[in-house]
Amino acid sequence: MKFQNGVVSAALAALMVLPILEALLRKTLHTGLSGSAALVQHCTLVAGMMGAVIAARENRLPWLSTLGTLLKGRSRIAARIFGGACAAGVSVLLAAASIQFLGAEFRSGQTLAYGIPLWVVESVIPAGLALITLYLLWHAAESWTARAATAVLAAVWVVVWSFSPLSALVALALATFAGIPAFATLGGVALVLFGRAGEPIASIPIAHYSLITNPALPTIPLFTLAGYLLAEGGAPRRMVRVFQALFGPLRGGAVIVTAVVCAFFTSFTGGSGVTIIALGGLLMPVLLARHFEERAALGLITGAGSLGMLFPPCLPLILYAVVAKVPIQSMFLGGIVPGIVLLVATVMWGMLSQSRDDRDPAAAFNRTAATEALWEAKWELLMPVVALGALFGGFATPVEAAALTALYALFIETFVYRGLKLTSDVPRVMTECGLLVGGVLLIQGVALGLTNYLVDADVTAHAAEWATRTIHSPLVFLLALNAFLLVVGCMMEIYAAIVIQAPLIVTLGAAFGIDPVHLGIVFLANLELGYLTPPVGLNLLLSSYRFNKSVPEVLRAVTPLTVVMGVGVLLITYVPALTTALPRWLGH
């Protein structure tokens, strides 16, 4: 365990240092660090794969369906064993495919940098998948006998896949509803399709490797790490204090504080669930003290947790840009105004849902208190300036800007605020960040293998042809797109949805002449609602866990806000200038 945690921490530390060193050498000595880009890309591979191993170890790999949690007693035990067997069967096949890929790389004799054989670093893929298989078997049951039975069932699934791929697919579908990690479902479908087509399954790890080593992808773990360092270093308390001092005395001040603070943290952590866990305990007492009913407060915090999805440098914006081949800077700029639209809509709903005026007559604006709060949090408030200033100021590439942001967050939380200890807390935070990023990148990798098959089979081209033949108006297409994406958001984990659906949506959008940045923001805005809708709705589950409420109770609380945000999504969809004006104005 310590070794796995140490590998992730070392890889993330290298991701922070190498791009900054490269930028400094380029600016001062007009030279670069030999092999820096390749080293950074493969540090991302190591951090992502070992992070996925840790996620499997902690039984925290993202799932596509949570219906299995509704089962009780023996039915639940049987579902765990069956689902664990199918997932382990998929994982072991992916590991075998990765060994085939590794063999080809070994024979090629390529080197990474400084004489390091490329296959040595790439071996983390089959090794990681083998460990994930073992952890899946371990968590499938409580006793050794049951785990052995699970391993036998996993072998049976592999045999069935070899002789009857459709039967294996049916078993996988049942296991998905029972509850298995999303990567197993997507990887299993890819295995079945490649197997039926008679194509080598090594294509799946090849796609995984090509995506994870994409030059822009290191921005994902780096910006996410910056957000985790903020969340664990005491920044939530300081941010709440700042916005409470600025907006607290106003009518609706508590609503503004909740919405703005949640949006700020989600934009950096990339996961709205992290925001709910980190801020829920701070914000709920604030809302209740301002005469909010508990249900309204629960709905506001749950809904506000996803508000930062469209604000830079949020992880889904970067991932969509990578998958859809849209400039990251354009996606960052395109999301700002739509993000503000959803933020304002949330604040307006929150103010209307108050039982009475939430202002405290004794709490007039206190300039001294506001100044003190701003001064205390000044270094954290400068985070967006550091990130976006480096990116748009021409001083750094996206990866270098992300590395600078992460290093800045590490420095201020460790040495300025002293909320984190360098030798104990920082490795723990890095491990937690690696866990999230690893689970996401594992989904991305296998999903890209599936997507590549669909592209090669001309599925996207046929879909575009059908859509243009059936739908003749871009406005009708956008309406149909919204309906489709709402269903996708309800049924599919957001990162898997981006990797699988984005290539198809980009093809369709181009056929109808939709601006690619506008299309991407519409895509993400709809998936943002997916955080609030069952059965996948991650915010529903985490809010239920954080506030000890049932999922149906959380769903009833957040439904009115979901409707309001849906109206905001329609406004973003049909007023393209909200998305496109800023990128065009700033030349992106």
| Three-class secondary structure assignment of 237-301 | HHHHHHHHHHHCCCCCHHHHHHHHHHHHHHHHHCCHHHHHHHHHHHHHHHHHHCCCCHHHHHHHH
Ranges under pLDDT 50 in the chain: 361-362
What is the pLDDT, as a whole number, of residue 362?
Answer: 47
Summarize pLDDT for 45-92 with one digit per residue, the tens: 999 999 999 999 998 887 766 566 666 778 888 888 998 999 999 999
CA nearest neighbour of 60 among 306, 309, 229, 273: 273
Helices marked H in 414-515? 425-456, 459-470, 474-491, 494-511
Phi–psi pair at 532, nearest 5 degrees:
-110, 5
Q: What is the dihedral of CA 434, 304, 540, 384, to 10 degrees?
A: -10
Beta-bridged to residue 156, according to DSSP, are none
- What H or E segment, with its residue span, contains residue 544? helix 538-547
Give the type of residue at 512.
F
Name, in order, each residue with C-beta under 8 angstroms of 201's C-beta and a sequence gap of 6 or more: 93, 94, 96, 97, 100, 191, 194, 195
- What H or E segment, with its residue span, contains residue 349? helix 328-352
What is the pLDDT, as a whole number, of residue 235?
Answer: 87
Tokens of 67: 């219906």
What is the pLDDT, as a whole number, of residue 508?
Answer: 87
Dihedral-angle region of residue 270 (phi above 0 means left; psi in -120 to 50 means alpha; beta otherwise): left
Rounded CA gap, 7 and 464, in Å? 44
Summarize pLDDT for 341-376 with one digit per residue, the tens: 999 999 999 888 775 555 554 456 788 888 998 999
